[in-house]
Amino acid sequence: MNMTIDQQVEYLMQGTEYGDEELKHAMATELRQRLEESAREGRPLRVYCGFDPRTSDLHLGHTVPMRKLRQFQELGHEVVFLIGNYTSLIGDPSDKDKLRPQLTSEQVAENARTYAEQAYKVLDRTKTIIRYNAEWLSELSFADLIKLASNFTIQQFLTRENFRLRWENGDGIYLHETFYALMQGYDAYALRADVQVGGTDQLFNIVTAARKLMTFMGEKPNIAIILGILPGTDGEVKMSKSLGNHIPLLSTPEDMYGKVMSVPDKAMGLYFRLITRWTPEFIAAFERDMAQGKLHPRDAKMKLAHEIVSIYHSPEAADQAQANFIRVFQERDMPQDMPEYTLQPGQTVLDVLIAGKLVGTKSEGRRVIDQNGVRLDGQVLSDPNQTFPHSGVLQVGKRRFLRIIGV
């Protein structure tokens, strides 16, 4: 890509969130300086993100930092995809308000095998360096750990929101959980990273731990690219398989397209910036057209769905999924205005049918489900007892519609 330094900074800072404008400005300034050094010296920046393979079933939320790594690749920089086969044995407590279960080395190895392969749907396989942090973390001695830990206070950990809440609730905070930030900081040092990419839940690990340890170890501190968290199909909370608001990478083109179309309009901006290949200029023009009424939000979302399916399948598959969506939804006699229902946590498909007054009794609800007469965004719902999957258009038979809104 042929961009000026200013354009590169804007592109690479797209989608970042620091919760502090001064910190964001400082990181952008450091990034500009490092990019200028890179151009002057003819040396690509070394950029990395660590991925703990705690699951092998990835969704779009997992790809947010991968998309940022891909942008660095497009600009000619060196990207390291770090598999945390050692940090996974602890489990990152950053976004958890309870103790995270520890995995066995066998579980980590099994997940790692499929994790990287799915990542190549975003990253350039030929330009991606795969590393495992057991290479260096397994070699640290107890004396090394004491040396690293001397850079931090207990208060720094207890002021972190997730630890603070557990402390106030009387829940246990285990000593080994504090090691995670030290280990991640040491990863940055071991790689001699110029840039580290992570989500807002990694702010402490990257900005505090990694930068402090790199400085302590005599290296120039890495630049933190902290990205926003992708909401799920409810448009409200972090995409999560356990919440049922996720879009799996391995879903079919039609299912992926339909789930993107179910995302509330208010969340589209985050999807534009975090998981598409679109540039800041393109997104700005796109949103300007929407604001001026030149582009209908539905058509904008269709372009978004087409882009996402194109990335993870192919443009041809996206064309077919879009044609199927238009045939099922836009050519069917679907009302433009329909009643809305706010989904409640834990509700099953049958619960929603009754609460939304689409059926009169549980037996009627089970009967129409057994007859494949219940669809969510065109997909048949066949289990009355499953947790309701996500927001979208719920249809019973040919004439009854209900727009489901996330909590």
Q: DSSP string spanning 70-126?
A: HHHHHTT-EEEEEE-TTGGGT---TT-SSPPPPPPHHHHHHHHHHHHHHHTTTS-GG
CA–CA separation, 22 vs 26, rounded Å? Answer: 6
CA–CA separation, 237 vs 234, rounded Å? Answer: 7
Q: Find which of 90-94, 263-267, 274-278 is predicted with most confidence, using mean pLDDT.
A: 274-278
Check if the beta carbon of residue 46 is closer than 8 Å to that of residue 78: yes
DSSP 3-state of 223: strand
pLDDT bracket for residue 64 (50, 70, 90):
very high
Check if the beta carbon of residue 34 is closer than 8 Å to that of residue 192: no
**What CATH number has the domain bearing residue 318?**
1.10.240.10
| Residues 159/165/168/174 CA torsion (nearest 10 deg) | -80
**Mean of all residue pLDDT scores within the chain:** 88
Return the amino acid letter for 262: S
Q: CA torsion sign, 80 to 85 to 88 to 89? A: negative
The residue from 178, 206, 227 where one domain ends is 227
Domain count, the chain: 3
Are residues 285 and 341 located together in one domain of the fold?
no
Per residue in 296-342, pLDDT tens?
888 899 999 999 999 999 999 999 999 888 877 765 656 666 788 99
Are residues 327 and 346 located together in one domain of the fold?
no
Q: Which domain holds residue 347?
A: 335-407
Q: Token pair of 339, please?
A: 């009643």
Phi, psi of 199 (to 5 degrees): -85, 175
- The pLDDT of residue 166 is 73
Are residues 57 and 116 located together in one domain of the fold?
yes
DSSP 59: B
**What CATH number has the domain bearing residue 402?**
3.10.290.10
DSSP 209: I
DSSP 387: B
Q: Token pair of 2, please?
A: 């042929």
